[in-house]
Copies of this chain bind each other. A is one copy, B any other.
Amino acid sequence: MRSPHVLQRCFRTLALAALTSTSLLTASAAADEGMWLLTRPPTESLAQKYKVTLDPAWLERMQKSAVRFETGGSGSIVSPDGLVLTNHHVGSDVIDALGTKDRNLLEDGFLAKNRGEEIPCPDLELRVLWSIEDVTDTINAAVPANADPGAAYAARQRAVAELEKTSQDTTGLVSEVVTLFQGGRYHLYRSKRYTDVRLVFAPESSAAALGGDVDNFEFPRHALDMALFRIYEDGKPLQTPQHLVATPKGSKEGDLTFVFGHPGRTQRQLTADHLRFLRDHEGPTILDWLFRQEVELTAFAARDPAFKRQAESDLGGIANGRKARLGMLDALQDPTFFKAKVDAENRLMDEIAANPQLKSLGEGVIEQIADSIAAYLPFFEQHRIISDGRGASRHFRLARQLVRLLEEKAKPNAHRLPEYRDSNLASLELEIFSPAPIFAEVETEKMAIWLSTLARVLGGDHPLVLSTLAGKSPSARAAELISGTQVAKVDFRKRTAEGSRDALATSSDPMLALARDLDQLARSLQLRYENEVLGPQREAYARLAKARFAVQGDREAPDATFTLRLSYGPVRGYEENGSTVKPYSTMGEAFAKAAARGNAEPFNLPQRWLDRKEMIDLTTPYNFVGTADIIGGNSGSPVVNADGELIGLIFDGNIQSLSGDYAYEDTVARAVAVDIRGILESLRKIYDAGHLADEMQGVTKGR
């Protein structure tokens, strides 16, 4: 499970378009809000509002057709032979890594003419959810009476580790305990894990993301943001009855749609004080870091065409995260939006206080969360930059993983950091030993930015800054570290991982040494975070959840957790700046838009498109919008109709939907999908991939 930072990437699109914030307040309880657990689907609302009943077998088929990309996105199985549909941007890192110096699969696209040509992806892991079990009582029972919140957190972590290991050992399924309602519930999710995954088809990136950052989070949209992979098992295509079937009928305005996917994170159940922290501190700080990375990597990319390709993937993710987070900040900074959150909290707390049986549950909850935030403020930047360390270059990240791998493996399973538990080791090693190329130049830039940020956050005179910089400026030290380390070599990483802790403790590799030296502080900050911040928050939010269930029943879905959820809502346009945005775009409009911009980047349709324009039905619906409740991580989710037929592929939310991290809205916020008719038309008429279209429609089993 990846961090929200990565999950933000599973969403692509205008930051400063006016957000009609007042509309956010009109969302009534009858709105189609919710990223629902498959164990608790929104049966009442669906029956009441749409006269639809969900059949358990239908739900099971949807569940077992849904795929989670461990790189941070969603997908679905769309043929009995394990064909997997997802977004181009979900697969783009993997696709890029399959290219060579002379063959740019990301830019030029790829089609396997037959199964023999499908390209294995050496470090891609997909999971399919197999079962769900509520283990709340077991987890909570592990907490000793009178444990303080930090100790309680640690006790729960150990219980989680044991449950996961036992489950994995007995079932052979990947087992993961998921924290719901910020600690109100714990569920054990068991999944099938697939690591033999092959690339089948990818369009050119200019077709997949026509309009680039300009169009990201916008609508109308004209993007073929799709890619096809195939799951293999025992060297053969996965055979499965649980899959979706594409329907060339597509959909029409007003049709009810369902979305099955893995929304990464929402923060709708946070208290107002917690949201203040996001608004005034964490949100702006993370944006600052993104701004710096975007500016410096863009300047780096402009220096040389080779650098541009090196930085492309990072820059795409950063620009996307920036646009998403700017939209989120604009919502939080809107006093009307914020007041609605405060009012809703006050109403809830009044209800709780007015109920003699709940009163004690609610007492002090708001204050405990406020205190945890006050405790976090003085070190949240240090914690984010040092304990996470993600932006510090792949070299540093690998070095840290190697250092920790050896240390953690020496401990009993239940006492390890979550990523290093037996239940996660296979996934982790797939990542550490990935043969994907690592480019020194771009990683040096990233390392320099990170070192400079470290010096800023700790202060230039901090002993750790002085030892880390070793008497050099951040840029000079970054160059020295990256040119001096061997962690970019898979062999070196394998040797180090197989070596002894002593050998690592005395290694003269400068990046290993740095990761080693920083790890004590990284771990102590994490521990402080768990004891002073996360532990107290879990405890308080668990109490709040209990009181909320008692007051409201479970009529609210939990915040998103990158686990499988069901959302629903009709295909529907909206009003923007006084005019109507129609729910469907067409393929013809894609050509018109590119022509209006002189087919110049990022509005450049591939030559193949221009050549085949005459062959295409330009009225084919291409992208569409609906009210289903989605968020980053939902990218690649299948959109199905009430019969379970595949009618679309989620790839974005519009700019107005960015406030959805904090509150659902359905007047103007929309999920954006590729229409199945655009997918089929493109495969057949542009890419000579009729066999894949046939396979998705269940017409043939493909070649």
Task: Give 9 A-B pairs besides A276-B459, A280-B460 with Cβ atoms closer than 8 angstroms.
Answer: A15-B475, A16-B300, A16-B478, A20-B476, A213-B302, A291-B294, A333-B460, A335-B466, A335-B471
Give the contact stretch, choosing among A262-270, A324-332, A542-550. Answer: A324-332
Chain B residue with minimal CB distance to A326? B296
Cα-based distance from A478 to B456 in the complex (angstroms)? 31
Q: Are B295 and A452 in contact (CB under 8 A)?
A: no
Chain B residues with Cβ under 8 A from A279's Cβ?
Answer: 455, 460
Interchain CB contact (< 8 A) of A332 among B291, B326, B460, B479:
B460
Q: Are A16 and B296 in contact (CB under 8 A)?
A: yes
Q: Are B299 and A15 in contact (CB under 8 A)?
A: yes
Residues of A within 8 A of B (CB): 14-21, 212-214, 276, 279-280, 284, 287-288, 291-292, 294-296, 298-300, 302-303, 319, 322-323, 326, 329-338, 444-445, 448, 452, 455-456, 459-461, 465-466, 469, 471-476, 478-479, 602
Q: Are B287 and A334 in contact (CB under 8 A)?
A: no
Chain B residue with minimal CB distance to A21? B473
Given the interface pairs A448-B16, A471-B336, A472-B334, the reply to whether A295 lies near B280 with Cβ below 8 Å is no
Cα-based distance from A448 to B291 in the complex (angstroms)? 16
Cα-based distance from A323 to B469 in the complex (angstroms)? 21
5 A-B pairs (CB sep. < 8 Å): A14-B299, A214-B299, A291-B291, A331-B473, A334-B476
Q: Are A330 and B474 in contact (CB under 8 A)?
A: yes
Interchain CB contact (< 8 A) of A475 among B19, B214, B276, B473:
B19
Q: Are B476 and A19 in contact (CB under 8 A)?
A: yes
Interchain CB contact (< 8 A) of A16 among B323, B335, B475:
B475
Q: Are B18 and A469 in contact (CB under 8 A)?
A: no
Cα-based distance from A448 to B15 in the complex (angstroms)? 10
Q: Are B475 and A296 in contact (CB under 8 A)?
A: no
Given the interface pairs A16-B296, A291-B288, the reply to whether A460 lies near B331 with Cβ below 8 Å is no
A695, chain B: closest CB distance, angstroms: 38
A340, chain B: closest CB distance, angstroms: 11
Q: Are B333 and A474 in contact (CB under 8 A)?
A: yes
Q: Are A336 and B299 in contact (CB under 8 A)?
A: no
Chain B residues with Cβ under 8 A from A465's Cβ?
Answer: 335
Interchain CB contact (< 8 A) of A456 among B280, B302, B456:
B280
Chain B residues with Cβ under 8 A from A331's Cβ?
Answer: 473
Cα-based distance from A329 to B337 in the complex (angstroms)? 38
Chain B residues with Cβ under 8 A from A336's Cβ?
Answer: 471-472
A391, chain B: closest CB distance, angstroms: 14
**Which 3 A-B pairs rank lowest in CB-CB distance, beginning with the nearest?**
A334-B473, A291-B291, A16-B475
A218, chain B: closest CB distance, angstroms: 10
Chain B residues with Cβ under 8 A from A212's Cβ?
Answer: 302
Q: Are A473 and B291 in contact (CB under 8 A)?
A: no
Cα-based distance from A299 to B18 in the complex (angstroms)? 16
Cα-based distance from A14 to B15 in the complex (angstroms)? 29
Q: Are A455 and B276 in contact (CB under 8 A)?
A: no
Cα-based distance from A284 to B291 in the complex (angstroms)? 12
Q: Are B214 and A302 in contact (CB under 8 A)?
A: yes
Given the interface pairs A280-B460, A291-B291, A292-B291, the reply to whether A299 lies near B333 with Cβ below 8 Å is no
Cα-based distance from A460 to B300 in the complex (angstroms)? 35
Interchain CB contact (< 8 A) of A452 among B18, B330, B445, B476:
B330
Given the interface pairs A21-B476, A473-B331, A475-B19, the reply to whether A294 lies near B295 with Cβ below 8 Å is yes
Max chain B C-beta neighbours (<10 A), residue from A326, A332, A478: A326
Q: Are A452 and B302 in contact (CB under 8 A)?
A: no
A335, chain B: closest CB distance, angstroms: 5
Interchain CB contact (< 8 A) of A455 among B291, B322, B333, B448:
B333
Chain B residues with Cβ under 8 A from A445's Cβ?
Answer: 16
Chain B residue with minimal CB distance to A303? B214
A387, chain B: closest CB distance, angstroms: 20
Q: Are B16 and A333 in contact (CB under 8 A)?
A: no
Chain B residues with Cβ under 8 A from A326's Cβ?
Answer: 296
A514, chain B: closest CB distance, angstroms: 15
Chain B residues with Cβ under 8 A from A299's Cβ?
Answer: 14-15, 213-214, 319, 323
A294, chain B: closest CB distance, angstroms: 5
Given the interface pairs A292-B288, A460-B280, the reply to whether A469 lies near B333 with Cβ below 8 Å is yes
Chain B residues with Cβ under 8 A from A16's Cβ?
Answer: 296, 300, 444-445, 448, 475, 478
